A and B are shown apart, each in its own frame.
Chain A
């Protein structure tokens, strides 16, 4: 047992550094359903099996064709004529013995007819190359069951993904460029006391040059505020003057030449960002004002419970601010000064988290739930990430497809540029229509390409008419989509395979932020767009 755990740590080391042990655990508890083991499907699954999801189930009623084997790494030519779900499962399973692979030799339509609840067991369902009717049926079942649904399609040189999830909360969004939470504008009591313990004017050179820039900025800000009617530097001119003010604080040698004090240079560099007043980010404020936060019941998930507790904290102990994050960036300083300063922030963060815990407890109590229902560890993590909380809500497929709720604005404004990726979305919708009418895709055989152009154009026209979309689709795109002949070139499938797998991992782990809600990839121009439909 221990040996397996150690070898898993080694094997997954490179990804554990991204989503941690708890992220990995959520993956290992996940059961992913893939519908249709086409190249796109198996590529997506490969990128989920390799990082070690718990289990997968492939649902596919098709038999393997020669064409299938040609673009799919997980089908071999001796599986031609066999059921595709089974054939692909064998070769995908072989990638990682930690994962349990299953298959169902059935079309999703049949399953929806006979046993729709079959899909309720999955952490996420990924549907690949689904005809529109199947997609909508499945979408409805999964929406009611609150099972996340990821729709993927590779069509010629176009990749398409649609995420359908009612409400997806993210505590650990891991933002790329987060601003530090230093509270310099209105230091909390313990920070103020710590700043007061420094007297820059009476320090020897060594101490002076190794004082953290946070202290330097704080000290100079104090003086500035007393001389500027409590108005902090706001515009460029004022900040420039403030930077100069700090520069004047640099020690000078006996010849009146400024010494080399890197910590002061750091202070000057950080003036731009360090003085921003601590505000609750608007995204978090929106969450505070949302229904889920304000109508807490005994069924409310812990995310909203904790959010409500943080809101209460902000209104009370926090004096309008979120809990202190507790981290500071590295900076030139001697060890002791840095550690002491870091501890001031850390202790305040612990204190704030403790206050939030109390709010969580009283909320739980009001429903007769034990305080252990939400762990202190979870609350601490929540507080640390409180500035970065995200909630993703995708519209249902029904809403997207319904004439009354179609997002006309998004479509028509994008199509102001007739070559925007939106045109590919509309073409995919038109192609779906063609399939519905003709039970095949346009241009699959060479002899069909020319004739299908006018047929596809009719589908485009009827689509635009039905949704009252006053946009123009160039004939070139209609020609191109007939040319594609529903081909699924491997490199497009592989691009989508990587993209979709990572979105699935985001859904499973609740780390990093999923897209909302439609992603289009154009391999001709190597461009992409995210649309909200």
Chain B
């Protein structure tokens, strides 16, 4: 034992010390709090300083606001989500909701530290909430084992700040669109009270980014869509007849052989089923042998089939920490928030870059302006569809196009409902003129990348 002092004496001394703090720092919190619990946080809420936000006022009430009133929504309870929940809970936030549609997988355990081997198979949101609530007394995390699309605006409206730790660009864009749809304008002027700040974090291996979005005011997800280039898939002719890499052999087995050779099972390929992966692996090995290609391994097979992105605890810790710092700043006005994009990379030393992403004037999500569609009247609807999916600023997944003709709503093409797809498919080969569309016609396009339809205006070129 290092110290001569007895534990009892020491404990008393600690109490004296924290008593002094309580007297200095303001009133004590009731219930589950203990002396000194919020000392680290209080210093930033109760003391004036030279770098605080112009709106900041030192007060003992700010802590109460965090503990009792401020409502935060965390989207995702995975690598970033677990970290975010911990960070928020230890910064004084207690009213937290978390949404995640997934269940726990063993490959999550290397970084999603609220989960244990015994939790595999259980919903992430629920296990995460349980862990935080039991480890952090007073914290009330409410889990939702649901998709973000299962909720409507009435759900999202209740939160002061929303922070995302998602692994999908589509989901981000949907969230982005939802918050934009909550904005209200009076005489064309944005009402500040309708803005819900969105803090968004993303990671991939040793790279990550964190951004602050004030919908309607600062650059939104879609304003900077070009920062996320579309995923490249291998060309079919390479896969089908000219493989060169082990990946090509794996895709051959997945895309061409599986549908053909497993019709009796009538199951689609499940990347989480080791037997399915093993089947693909073996077929891929055969194909590779045929072409003298080396390098097909089980691990590579799994990676290609499941589109696995490597991940470690450290990067998620850094990005979630940056995000949570911003949530704290915005909730308390303690400091001026990040304006507005942070990039992080620790492959070679540690590199950060902070910049202000700019709003796009004609952003399809937040500019409130109909998007320009320039096509000759002789262009086929198919071309318009391709533009909507392939254009780097739009990157729609499966757009449904409707318009108003002769006073009635008409669906030009819709893919997601089989009967409507079959009925409207012939329209793809028709020209815009043949479809009865005129110059300046407005088209409403719906897609999973946005909860609201996007308005386009046809501009006939010669």
Contacts and interface: CB of A to CB of B under 8 A. Distances in A.
Task: Report if A and B associate in a common complex.
Answer: yes
B184 to A, nearest CB: 30
A494 B324 contact: yes
Contact of B325 (A335, A485, A495): A495
B349 A334 contact: no
B34 A449 contact: no
Interface in A67-107: 67, 69-73, 76-77, 80-82, 95, 105-107
B317 A494 contact: yes
A492 B90 CA distance: 11
B417 interface: no
A467 interface: no
A483 interface: yes
Given A7-B106, A492-B321, A498 B2 contact: no
A502 B135 CA distance: 26
Contacts of B210: 526
Interface in A101-158: 105-107, 110, 156-157
Nearest to B291: A335
A339 B113 contact: no
A418 to B, nearest CB: 14
A117 to B, nearest CB: 18
A499 B242 contact: no
Contacts of B107: 10-11, 13-14
B24 interface: yes
B30 interface: no
A530 B325 CA distance: 21
A88 to B, nearest CB: 13
Given A17-B299, A63-B10, A107-B2, A80 B346 contact: no
Contacts of A13: 107, 110, 299, 302, 308
A11 B335 contact: no
Contacts of B322: 491, 495, 523, 526
A527 B350 CA distance: 11
B49 interface: yes
B20 A63 contact: no
A498 B317 contact: yes
Contact of B51 (A66, A77, A476, A485): A476
Interface in B188-211: 205-206, 210
B140 interface: no
A189 interface: no
Contacts, number: 262
B242 A210 contact: yes
B95 interface: no
A16 B299 contact: yes
B147 interface: no
Interface string A50-70: 111000000001010111011
Given A513-B348, A514-B349, A515-B349, A497 B317 contact: yes
B347 A174 contact: yes
A200 to B, nearest CB: 19
With a 10 A CB-CB cut-off, give which of B49, B107, B321, B352 has the most chain A CB atoms.
B321
A131 B375 CA distance: 69
A73 B135 contact: yes
Given A15-B110, A71-B40, A81-B7, A46 B348 contact: no
A253 interface: no
A494 B312 contact: no
A305 to B, nearest CB: 25
A449 to B, nearest CB: 6
A46 B313 CA distance: 9
A186 B453 CA distance: 58
A489 B41 contact: yes
B18 A65 contact: yes
B38 to A, nearest CB: 6
A452 interface: no
Contact of A488 (B20, B40, B91): B40
Given A17-B310, A175-B348, A528-B350, A81 B10 contact: yes
Nearest to B21: A445
B262 interface: no
B271 interface: no
A81 B35 CA distance: 13
B310 A15 contact: yes
A12 interface: yes
A80 B36 CA distance: 11
B321 A495 contact: yes
A81 B11 contact: yes
Contacts of B7: 63, 81-82
A282 interface: no
With a 10 A CB-CB cut-off, give which of B40, B46, B320 has the most chain A CB atoms.
B40
B42 to A, nearest CB: 8
Contacts of A46: 113, 313, 317
A39 B321 CA distance: 13
B292 interface: yes
With a 10 A CB-CB cut-off, give which of B210, B325, B328 has the most chain A CB atoms.
B325
By size class, the interface of chain A is: 35 or more
A36 interface: no
A505 B326 CA distance: 28
A466 B11 CA distance: 40
A447 B24 contact: yes
Contacts of B86: 73, 490, 494
Contacts of A72: 90
Contact of A51 (B18, B38, B309, B312): B312
Contacts of A14: 107, 110-111, 308-312
Nearest to A96: B109
Contacts of A7: 106
B47 interface: yes
With a 10 A CB-CB cut-off, give which of B2, B87, B316, B324 has the most chain A CB atoms.
B2
A446 B48 CA distance: 11
Interface in A431-450: 445-447, 449
Interface string B316-348: 111111101110100000011010001001111
Contacts of A479: 49-50
A361 interface: no
Contacts of A331: 244
A480 interface: yes
A339 B49 contact: no
B270 to A, nearest CB: 16
Contacts of A335: 242-244, 291-293
Contact of B312 (A10, A210, A333, A502): A502
Interface in B268-324: 291-293, 299, 302-303, 308-322, 324
Nearest to A476: B50
A522 to B, nearest CB: 10
Nearest to B235: A332
Given A445-B24, A489-B44, A512 B347 contact: yes
Nearest to A106: B2
B348 A487 contact: no
Contacts of B242: 210, 333-335
Interface of B: 1-3, 7, 10-11, 14, 17-18, 20-21, 24-25, 34-41, 43-44, 46-51, 83, 86-87, 90-91, 106-107, 109-111, 113, 135-137, 205-206, 210, 242-245, 291-293, 299, 302-303, 308-322, 324-326, 328, 335-336, 338, 342, 345-350, 352, 354
14 contacts: A13-B107, A14-B110, A66-B39, A69-B34, A70-B37, A70-B40, A70-B41, A71-B41, A156-B43, A335-B242, A449-B47, A494-B321, A497-B321, A498-B317
Interface of A: 7, 10-18, 39, 43, 46-47, 50-52, 61, 63, 65-67, 69-73, 76-77, 80-82, 95, 105-107, 110, 156-157, 173-176, 210, 330-331, 333-336, 338-339, 342, 445-447, 449, 476, 479-480, 483-485, 487-492, 494-495, 497-499, 501-503, 505, 512-516, 519, 521, 523-528, 530
Given A71-B41, A495-B325, 18 more contacts: A13-B308, A14-B308, A14-B312, A18-B206, A18-B312, A50-B313, A71-B90, A72-B90, A73-B86, A176-B348, A210-B242, A330-B245, A335-B291, A476-B51, A491-B324, A495-B317, A523-B325, A524-B51
